[in-house]
Amino acid sequence: MHRSRRSAAAGSSPRDEGADLPVNTSAAYGELLGFPDIGRCRVMGVLNVTPDSFSDGGQWFETDKAIAHGVDLFRNGADIVDVGGESTRPGALRVDPAEELRRVLPVVRELAAVGPVSIDTMRADVAEAAVDAGAVLVNDVSGGLADPRMIPFIAANRLPYVVMHWRGPSVDMQSRAHYDDIVADVRREISARIDAVLAAGGDFRQIIVDPGIGFAKRPDTDHNWALLKHLDQLGSLGRPVLVGASRKAFLGRLLAGPDGTPRPPMLRDHASSAITALVAAAGAWAVRVHAVEADADAVRVAARWRAQP
């Protein structure tokens, strides 16, 4: 069995250990294996080694450019760089596994010598290869639903693992955006994924939860806003919360011009940083962002705000 050199001690924590803790602090969201508390929200820099991501597809597709950009992300304030080789934008099709590996492995290998790297993948084989190359966290937008081998791999190796809310492949995910109560529904569905990790022998302390902003959440409704406003409801699951709202379509709609045309992704960074400050102040463990320098400032402002009696 593969054993990650980054793996932590075994042992599970019952879900209800954090139930009576205040839900507006990162510490209350529970201990995370391999990531000590740093007193503020972490900044996860986005590195898309893809030709078709919604925001910067193609910009960092060449290996050398991707590595250089990753180094810049660390230099500008990223605590983690999240490397992905498959676009998950609405409507995107799957990439061949061999191509995904070709895109990400050399980038992960080089950047792991600079700072903490996470691998953004739905495939267990890609996750395993990336961990062998130095990745210390697996960010799976499907929460283990896309590949039945993912959760057993994650559980066996006690790897920090992002469980995102996901209802199906990107190609048709927006057709699944139907909820009775989006906050309660998303919380319940993420809770089921936590249970799946624990049932596979995983450790409660290895799990990070993500509301899946923009994934089966329509930008012309209050879906995304409700989840962000009520982040404490996810925090009540007792796990750290990751938020990935940077440059997403709901912000483009909010900032639409007089003719109703949504603001383009590259012009949404100021609004993205505003979201960063708000969720960091609300106790998010990390934000996944593109404009790292501005967002690193935003989390520090939020940390000072939270520290004020």
Q: Among 187, 218, 248, 268, which one carries the catalytic annotation?
A: 248
d(CA 12, CA 199) in angstroms, rounded, equals 10
> Which residue reads 């070709």 in tokens?
102
Is residue 248 among the annotated active site residues?
Answer: yes
Q: What is the DSSP string of 69-122?
A: HHHHHHHTT-SEEEEESS--STTPPPPPHHHHHHHHHHHHHHHTTTS-EEEE-S
Give the CA count within 13 Å in the CB-facing half-sphere of 231: 31
Q: Among 217, 239, 268, 288, which one carries the catalytic annotation?
A: 288
d(CA 159, CA 23) in angstroms, rounded, equals 24
Is residue 65 among the annotated active site residues?
Answer: no
DSSP class of residue 221 equals: S
Maximum distance among all Cα pairs of the chain, rounded to whole angstroms: 58
Helix (H) / strand (E) element for 287: namely strand 286-289
d(CA 166, CA 146) in angstroms, rounded, equals 9
**Could you tell me the CA-to-CA distances from 114 to 36, 40, 51, 164, 305 in Å, in that order?**
18, 21, 25, 26, 30
Q: Give CA angle at 228 (154, 291), nearest 5°.
A: 75
Q: List residues with catalytic annotation.
A: 248, 288
